[in-house]
């Protein structure tokens, strides 16, 4: 690893009590370049702009994929990354689908730990606070040909993140727009999937819904995901979530929720969820909860569902009665080292990794 | 317009007899930045890298779209751009679907003409040679939030292009992968659409096919496009091409071919093309020609079609008998000022635009 520490660190300007998520970056970043069929050295260097041409293929042809993961600090100042091996596996799955080179464990996990260790002071203490970490791979070759690029960059950037707590939101079941095609890239964290969702989401916002529940593009009869989260539905005391597929992202939070529900003995069924079933359950009063899960907010509870012009309100259950909130707490307690971790999900970030290497 | 001419032009190193397409850029580029809800000044400046962070949203979330167009030089050295108002309209259509700001005519067409005029010496003389021009809009804001960006860049870069002539290719009818979803972004020139096609195309290459004929993702029973081209099928003496839709790009070359076919009195039907109809026509000997059209190569004739493991060979017709080659010639003759232009498609690039402004 090539190390170039910042001579002008910005951490002294960072106020953990008062910052905005997503546009304040930690002092360093990881960079690794791919050329002539192989990855070069991993570089740990000051965060900042690099020279890129507007002809860069990552921008022109969207050959780019990313990950989103978090590091948490416990009350003793120990730092843990949550299930990083899942994100490592997934970025390579995404890279494959987009015809990009896979990264090695050394590049991804080695770079990740060194970066988080060096900039550990950027991780705010306190419940729900964390460091949001963004690994990405993108095509850097300058060429105006719609073909697989020859040059790529792997990078890791990160930003401090505040409490996972988010207000319940209203969501609209999509009956026109969709985020994934059969035989498409829905199960990859492909850059282009996100841009494609912005306009439909803006239209939903204008109708009073914060997010969209995406449905299959052929019939719009089955739930896929919600916003950038996997979706869960509780009818009576059974939880349902759609199986992952080439159209549905295999979320780390989703997988964790499933395991946590099983541990509690909650009945959880991994099967397609039809819109009809959800609407009927709402009508007959058995629809108890609907929620989304993902790294960024852990859980977003839905307070209302819009479907074909109707707005169906959902009960707001207190923690003791809510599966969504109970499982969220189970998860956050493991993530933040408040509870035991029988699953082995937490990965401790050793101190002074660079010095001891 | 802010003008900064290159102090170190590379044109003297440019050998119009010997260059490779797509990675040699003309001396200048156009840049215009969007911030605080409005576009700034158009800048004409030396082509080269700009400072961008790996956290830039255009790369992370694929909020990026582009155009592809050509300028041709006639034997007297006059330079013409082909139907630029179509690309201007289409980039704004793409921008809309991706929740990006539209550009004005002044930015797009004004920037385009000034750039092509200034670097007109980069346009090679000779049949089929041209300048390939790439306008694009992409999100430049540095933020790790999957939402519409607040900062964008419009840019125009360009590269000299060689003869449009391309060898006939074998294409595979897709029965699994697809490029567009219902309610998706297929009709936009969205960056992410291209990356999504690379892996399926690579698999097709490995089976001996140069390109894919994309079919609808729900049933794979209808033709959509071919590679990055619109597709035409000739059965007996009738030409068929699918209607444009939210899944099919409204190609400038496609539109030109339709008008040219009509002018020649050729029967042309704009209607869905079923795979079944094409296979049957091949069986009974009425399938005469299948070809793709687009700005880059104008026409690519297909010599074979792969479908579910079978390879169906197509006759190779000489120019006099081929609708594909006849219409291609009609088009190229107009583009290069060899023939009259009753449609008003050619737009002359005046000389010394900057001096006369
Ligand atoms: C489309 C989509 N679905 C689901 C998720 C949830 O995945 P994870 O739990 O791994 O964050 C994400 C990422 O956050 C996503 O982008
Ligand atoms: C997906 C796709 N289809 C069709 C075309 C053809 O469009 P045009 O004739 O405007 O170049 C293009 C662009 O070249 C394209 O990218």
SS (H, E, C) chain B: CEECCCCCCCHHHCCCCCCCCCCCCCCEEEEEEEECCEECCCEEEECCCEEECCCEHHHHCCCEEECCEEEEECCCCCEEEECHHHHHHHHHHHHHHCCCCCCCHHHHHHHHHHHHHHCHHHCCCCCCCEEEEEEEEEECCECCCCCCCCCEEEEEEEEEECCCCCCCEEEEECCCCCCCCCCCCCCCCEHHHHHHHHHHHHHHHHCCCCEEEEECCCCCCEEEEECCEEEEEEECCEEEECCCECCECCCHHHHHHHHHHHHCCCEEEECCCEHHHHHHHHHCCCEEEEEEEECCCEEEEEEEEEECCEEEECCCCCCCCCHHHHHHHHHHHHHCCCCCCCCCCEEECCCCHHHHC
Task: Please check whether residue A328 is in contact with residue A298, taking contact to mean a CB–CB distance below 8 angstroms.
Answer: yes
The whole-angstrom separation of Cα A158 and Cα A26 is 6
* Cβ distance of A180 and B181 shorter than 8 Å: yes
Question: Has residue A122 got a pLDDT over 80?
Answer: yes
Count of CB atoms within 10 A of residue A162's CB? 17
What's the gap in Å between the CA of B142 and the closest CA on chain A? 6
| pLDDT at residue A164, as a whole number | 63
Q: Give yes or no for residue A228 CB within 6 A of ligand 1.
A: yes
Q: What's the rounded mean pLDDT across residues B339-348?
A: 98
The percent of residues above 70 in pLDDT, for chain A, comes to: 99
What residue in A sits closest to B48 (Cα-Cα)?
A53
Task: Please check whether residue B215 is in contact with residue B221, taking contact to mean a CB–CB distance below 8 angstroms.
Answer: yes
B353: CA distance to ligand 1 center in Å?
Answer: 50
Q: Which two tokens stand for residue A55?
A: 């002809």
pLDDT digits (tens, 9 = 90+) for A145-155: 999 999 999 99
Q: Which two tokens stand for residue A341?
A: 């971790």
Task: Please check whether residue B275 is in contact with residue B220, taking contact to mean a CB–CB distance below 8 angstroms.
Answer: yes
Q: Give yes or no for residue B295 CB within 6 A of ligand 2.
A: yes
Task: Report the candidate in B218, B220, B227, B223 with the shortest Cα–Cα distance to residue B166.
Answer: B227
Q: Give yes or no for residue A68 CB within 6 A of ligand 1.
A: yes
Question: Has residue B222 got a pLDDT over 90?
Answer: yes
Task: Please check whether residue B89 is in contact with residue B54, taking contact to mean a CB–CB distance below 8 angstroms.
Answer: no
Q: What's the rounded mean pLDDT across residues B54-74?
A: 98
| pLDDT at residue B164, as a whole number | 63
Q: Which helix (H) or strand (E) holds A232?
A: strand A229-235
pLDDT digits (tens, 9 = 90+) for A163-183: 766 899 999 999 999 999 999
Task: Please check whether residue B92 is in contact with residue B102, taking contact to mean a CB–CB distance below 8 angstroms.
Answer: yes
**Hey, what domains does chain B have and what are their CATH numbers?**
2-162+346-356 (3.30.470.10), 169-316 (3.20.10.10)
Q: Which of B23, B52, B180 sits opposite A50 (nearest CB)?
A: B52
pLDDT digits (tens, 9 = 90+) for A222-261: 999 999 999 999 999 999 999 999 999 999 999 999 999 9
Q: At what angle do helices A252-263 and A323-335 cross, to 10 degrees?
A: 110
| pLDDT at residue A17, as a whole number | 87
Q: What's the rounded mean pLDDT across residues A104-115?
A: 98
A interface test, pick of B42, B60, B71 with most A CB neighbours within 10 Å: B60
Confidence of residue A128 (pLDDT cuts 50, 70, 90): confident
The whole-angstrom separation of Cα A259 and Cα A249 is 17
| pLDDT at residue B336, as a whole number | 94
Q: Which of B97, B174, B178 sits opposite A199 (nearest CB)?
A: B97
Average pLDDT over chain B, rounded to an integer: 96
What's the gap in Å between the CA of A213 and the closest CA on chain B? 14
Count of CB atoms within 10 A of residue B41's CB? 10
Q: Give yes or no for residue A123 CB within 6 A of ligand 1.
A: no
Which residues 298-357 of A are in CB contact (within 8 Å) with B?
none
pLDDT digits (tens, 9 = 90+) for B301-326: 999 999 999 999 999 999 999 999 99
CA torsion, ordered B274, B278, B280, B281, to nearest 10 deg = 140
Q: Which of A132, A147, A185 sits opposite B196 (nearest CB)?
A: A185
pLDDT digits (tens, 9 = 90+) for B71-82: 999 999 999 999
DSSP string, A168-194: -EEEEE-SS--S--TTSSTTTTBHHHH
The percent of residues above 90 in pLDDT, for chain A, comes to: 94
DSSP string, A313-342: E-----TTT-HHHHHHHHHHHHHTTSS--T
CA A238, A240, A244 angle in degrees (round to 5)? 155
User: Which atom belonging to ligand 2 lies closest to the Cα atom of B225?
Assistant: 3
pLDDT digits (tens, 9 = 90+) for A308-337: 999 999 999 999 999 999 999 999 999 999
Considering only CA atoms, which residue is closest to atom 4 of ligand 1? A229
Task: Please check whether residue A26 is in contact with residue A65, taking contact to mean a CB–CB distance below 8 angstroms.
Answer: no
The whole-angstrom separation of Cα A298 and Cα A166 is 9
Task: Please check whether residue B263 is in contact with residue B323, taking contact to mean a CB–CB distance below 8 angstroms.
Answer: no
In this structure, what are the phi and psi dihedrals at residue A10, rounded to the nearest 5 degrees? -100, 0
Q: Give yes or no for residue A299 CB within 6 A of ligand 1.
A: no
Give the position of tokens 């609407």.
A279
Q: Which of A96, A177, A199 sits opposite B98 (nearest CB)?
A: A199
B251: CA distance to ligand 2 center in Å?
Answer: 5
Q: Which two tokens stand for residue A277?
A: 């079933």
Residues of A in contact with B155 (CB under 8 A): 54
Which residues 249-288 of B are in CB contact (within 8 Å) with A?
none
pLDDT digits (tens, 9 = 90+) for A6-48: 999 999 999 988 888 888 999 999 999 999 999 999 999 999 9
Residues of A in contact with B66 (CB under 8 A): 60
The whole-angstrom separation of Cα B199 and Cα A95 is 10
| pLDDT at residue B21, as a whole number | 84
* Cβ distance of B99 and A202 shorter than 8 Å: yes
Pairing of strands A28-35, B43-46: unpaired
Question: Has residue B63 got a pLDDT over 80?
Answer: yes
| pLDDT at residue A98, as a whole number | 98
Count of CB atoms within 10 A of residue A64's CB? 33
| pLDDT at residue B19, as a whole number | 87
Residue A97, helix vs strand vs coil? helix
A337: left (phi over 0), alpha (psi -120 to 50) or beta: left
Q: What ipTM, to 2 d.p.? A: 0.97
**Which residues lie below 8 Å from residue B251, measured CB to CB, with a gap of 6+?**
B229, B230, B293, B294, B295
Measured between CB atoms, does A199 come within 8 Å of chain B? yes
Measured between CB atoms, does A34 come within 8 Å of chain B? no
What's the gap in Å between the CA of B30 and the closest CA on chain A? 10
pLDDT digits (tens, 9 = 90+) for A192-227: 999 999 999 999 999 999 999 999 999 999 999 999
Measured between CB atoms, does A194 come within 8 Å of chain B? yes
Task: Please check whether residue A200 is in contact with residue A172, taking contact to mean a CB–CB distance below 8 angstroms.
Answer: no
Give the position of tokens 């707490």.
A329
Q: Which of A64, A146, A198 sits opposite B59 (nearest CB)?
A: A64
Q: At what angle do helices B252-263 and B84-97 cross, to 10 degrees?
A: 140
Q: Which helix (H) or strand (E) holds A2?
A: strand A2-3
Task: Please check whether residue A227 is in contact with residue B125, taking contact to mean a CB–CB distance below 8 angstroms.
Answer: no
Q: Which two tokens stand for residue A270?
A: 């991994």
Question: Has residue B156 got a pLDDT over 80?
Answer: yes
The whole-angstrom separation of Cα B143 and Cα B145 is 6
Question: Has residue A292 got a pLDDT over 70?
Answer: yes
* Cβ distance of A181 and B62 shorter than 8 Å: no
Question: Has residue B17 got a pLDDT over 90?
Answer: no
Q: What's the rounded mean pLDDT across residues A288-305?
A: 96
Measured between CB atoms, does A235 come within 8 Å of chain B? no
Residues of A in contact with B193 (CB under 8 A): 62, 192
A202: CA distance to ligand 1 center in Å?
Answer: 19
What's the gap in Å between the CA of B250 and the closest CA on chain A? 18
| pLDDT at residue B18, as a whole number | 87
A342: CA distance to ligand 1 center in Å?
Answer: 23
* Cβ distance of B148 and A202 shorter than 8 Å: yes
The whole-angstrom separation of Cα B280 and Cα B286 is 9
Residues of A in contact with B179 (CB under 8 A): 181, 184
Task: Report the candidate in A52, A54, A57, A34 with the shortest Cα–Cα distance to residue A145.
Answer: A57
Question: Has residue A114 got a pLDDT over 90?
Answer: yes
When mean pLDDT is compared across A305-309, B57-61, B195-199, B350-354, the lowest value belongs to: B350-354
**Which residues lie below 8 Å from residue A50, measured CB to CB, with a gap of 6+?**
A31, B51, B52, B53, B54
Question: Has residue B84 got a pLDDT over 70?
Answer: yes
């Amino acid at each position: 690893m090539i190390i170039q520490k910042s001579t002008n660190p910005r951490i002294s300007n960072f106020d953990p009590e008062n910052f905005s998520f997503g546009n304040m970056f930690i002092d360093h970043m990881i960079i690794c370049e791919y050329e002539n069929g192989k990855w070069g050295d991993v570089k740990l260097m000051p965060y900042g702009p690099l020279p890129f041409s507007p002809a860069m293929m990552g921008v022109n042809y969207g050959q780019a994929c990313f990950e989103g993961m978090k590091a948490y600090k416990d009350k003793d100042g120990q730092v843990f990354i949550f299930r990083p091996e899942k994100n490592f596996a997934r970025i390579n799955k995404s890279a494959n689908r987009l015809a990009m080179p896979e990264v090695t464990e050394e590049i991804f996990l080695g770079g990740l730990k060194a970066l988080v260790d060096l900039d550990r002071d950027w991780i705010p203490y306190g419940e729900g606070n964390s460091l949001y970490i963004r690994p990405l791979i993108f095509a850097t070759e300058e060429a105006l040909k719609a073909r697989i690029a020859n040059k790529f960059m792997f990078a890791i950037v990160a930003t401090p993140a505040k409490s996972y707590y988010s207000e319940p939101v209203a969501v609209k079941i999509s009956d026109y727009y969709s985020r994934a095609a059969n035989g498409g890239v829905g199960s990859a964290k492909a850059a282009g999937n996100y841009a494609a969702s912005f306009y439909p989401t803006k239209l939903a916002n204008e109708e009073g819904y914060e997010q969209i529940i995406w449905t299959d593009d052929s019939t719009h009869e089955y739930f896929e995901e919600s916003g950038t989260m996997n979706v869960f539905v509780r009818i009576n005391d059974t939880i349902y979530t759609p199986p992952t597929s080439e159209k549905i992202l295999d979320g780390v939070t989703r997988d964790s929720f499933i395991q946590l529900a099983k541990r509690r003995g909650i009945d959880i069924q991994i099967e397609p969820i039809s819109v009809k079933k959800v609407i009927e359950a709402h009508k007959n009063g058995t629809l108890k909860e609907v929620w989304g899960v993902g790294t960024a907010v852990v859980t977003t509870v839905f307070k209302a569902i819009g479907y074909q012009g109707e707005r169906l309100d959902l009960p707001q259950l207190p923690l003791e009665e809510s599966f969504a909130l109970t499982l969220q707490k189970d998860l956050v307690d493991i993530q933040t080292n408040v509870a035991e971790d029988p699953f082995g999900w937490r990965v401790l970030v050793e101190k002074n990794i660079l010095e001891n290497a």
